[in-house]
């Protein structure tokens, strides 16, 4: 099964420290990432960008992709 692809947007919804941390990891608005794994019960989300896997909080991932928190 191929990983789902997302484009990161809405960085303005994040606090400044989180924005800076993600930028330091090579993530920026318009960057394409692959969703590798979602853990149950709104647990962390593992994404891959430039052959680097990064764990994000579910809420941060939803904000970055414009997804709904359900």
Q: Which of 51, 49, 56, 44 is nearest to 18 (CA)?
A: 56
Reported as a single tens digit per residue, the pLDDT across 5-57 is: 999 999 999 999 999 999 999 999 999 999 999 999 999 999 999 999 999 99
Domains observed in the chain: 4-65 (2.30.30.90)
pLDDT at 54: 97
Measure CA of the first residue to CA of the last residue in the chain; give whole Å.
24
- pLDDT of 3 strictly over 60: yes
Q: What is the pTM of this model?
A: 0.87
DSSP codes joined into one string, 31-45: -EEEEEEE-TTT--E
Contacts of 53 (CB under 8 A, 6+ apart): 36, 46, 47
pLDDT-based confidence at residue 70 (cuts at 50, 70, 90): very low
């Amino acid at each position: 099964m191929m990983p789902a692809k997302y484009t990161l947007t809405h960085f303005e919804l994040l606090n400044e420290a989180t924005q800076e941390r993600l930028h330091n990891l090579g993530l920026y608005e318009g960057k394409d990432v692959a969703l590798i794994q979602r853990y149950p019960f709104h647990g962390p989300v593992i994404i891959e960008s430039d052959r680097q896997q990064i764990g994000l909080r579910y809420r941060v991932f939803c904000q970055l992709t414009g997804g709904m928190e359900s």
